[in-house]
Amino acid sequence: MRHQKIHRYIAEVARRSSIRGAAEHLNITPSALTRQIQDFEDELGTPIFERLSQGMRLNSAGELLIRHIRDQSADFERLKSQIADLSGIRRGHVAVACSQAFVDNVLPDEVAGYRAKFPQVTFSIVVRDHILGATALSTFEADLALLLNPPLVADMRVLLATDQPLCAVFRADHPLARPGSVRLRDCLAFPAAMPDQTLAIRHMLDQAISRRQISTNVQIESGSLEFLRNYIMREQAVTFHALSAVPRDDRRIYARPIDTRDLPLIQIVLWQLRGRALSVAAAKFADQLCNHLARHDPVVE
C-alpha cells in the first residue's frame, strides 16, 4: 500500500498521455507530479515513460508496471468485497463493458435489481462494441463484458453464451409492421438506415446481403443505435437491431425478427478475463446476469 498514491498518479498520466492533463484531474501542480514520477523512477531504477513532444507514453518497463498496478487494484477491490461479505454487508464496485444492445433494457434492469438487494455496491457501465469489449477486459477497465458476436479471443473466459434474433426495426405505421418474421429482401426494398462497420451486426448483414445478392439503398450509416431509431421515425426507412436493443416500451416503433433462412441467430456472450479472480460483488452480479439471460428469452410482439 506504500505506493498506492504514486500508482494512481502514474495510471492517470498513462491514461491521458499528458502530465498537465493528469495534474489538472488529480488537483496537483504539473511540477509536483513530474517530481513524484521522477522520484519513483529513481527508486525503481529505470524510466517508465518516454517523454515525447506530444506527451508521455509508457515504455516497456512502464507497460509492465501498469499491468502490476491494475492487478493490484483489482486484488484490493476483491479483498474489500470479501471482507464486507464477512460482515454480511455486500460492498464493492462492478465495472461492465457492453454492446449498445444492452443499454436500454437488460443492464438497467439488472443493475437496479442487484442494487435493490445490495445498495452499497456501485457500478460503472461503458459501451464498448465488438473487439473493444475484449480490450476493456484486458486493460482492466471492466470486470465483465456483455457483447454481441464478439471475435474469438484466447484470453477470455465465457461465463454464458446464448442466442437471439436480429430484427428489422421501423415505424409502427410502416407497411412491414405486422407480426411474424420477415425476409431480409423485403426489408431492403425500403431505404436502409444501416449500423456502421463498428458494430458486429453490420458484418452479419453484409454477409447475408452478399450471399443472397440483394440490392440495397443505404441512405444513412451510424454507429449509434439511438440515432438510427430516431431517424426511422422521420421516414419509411428500415434499420436493424439485435432484439435486446429494441426498447420495450416505445410504441412508436415495431420490430420483427429476420427470417433465419436469411440471417442466423446472433450470439450473446458474457466474458471475464481468463485468470482474473472477480470481486465478490462482480461474481454475484455475473451469476445474476447469467440466470436472467438463460431464463428470459426476449419476445417480439
The domain that holds 139 is classified in CATH as 3.40.190.10
Give the strands of the sheet with 166-171, arranged side by side: 239-242, 166-171, 253-257
Is residue 5 classed exposed, middle or buried when 0-12, 13-18 and 19+ CB atoms within 10 A define those classes? exposed
> Containing domain of residue 12, as a range?
1-89
Q: Verify that 155 and 274 share a domain, yes or no.
A: yes
Q: What is the mean pLDDT of residues 182-203?
A: 94
Pairing of strands 121-127, 49-52: unpaired
Note whether 231 and 221 are within 8 A (CB): no
Is residue 200 scored above 80 in pLDDT? yes
User: What per-residue confidence (pLDDT) applies to 2?
Assistant: 63
Q: What is the mean pLDDT of residues 268-275?
A: 92
Which helix (H) or strand (E) is 127 found in, with range?
strand 121-127
User: What per-residue confidence (pLDDT) applies to 178?
Assistant: 93
Work out the percent of the chain whose per-residue pLDDT is above 70: 95
Pairing of strands 218-222, 192-195: parallel
Strand partners, 163: 267
Q: Verify that 104 and 186 share a domain, yes or no.
A: no
301 lies in some domain: no
CATH number at residue 28: 1.10.10.10
* 8-state DSSP, 258: B
Is residue 278 classed exposed, middle or buried when 0-12, 13-18 and 19+ CB atoms within 10 A define those classes? buried
Note the helical H segments in 45-174: 60-86, 106-117, 131-138
pTM of the model as a whole: 0.70
How many residues are listed for the chain in this entry?
A: 301
Note whether 80 and 221 are within 8 A (CB): no
Is residue 53 scored above 90 in pLDDT? no
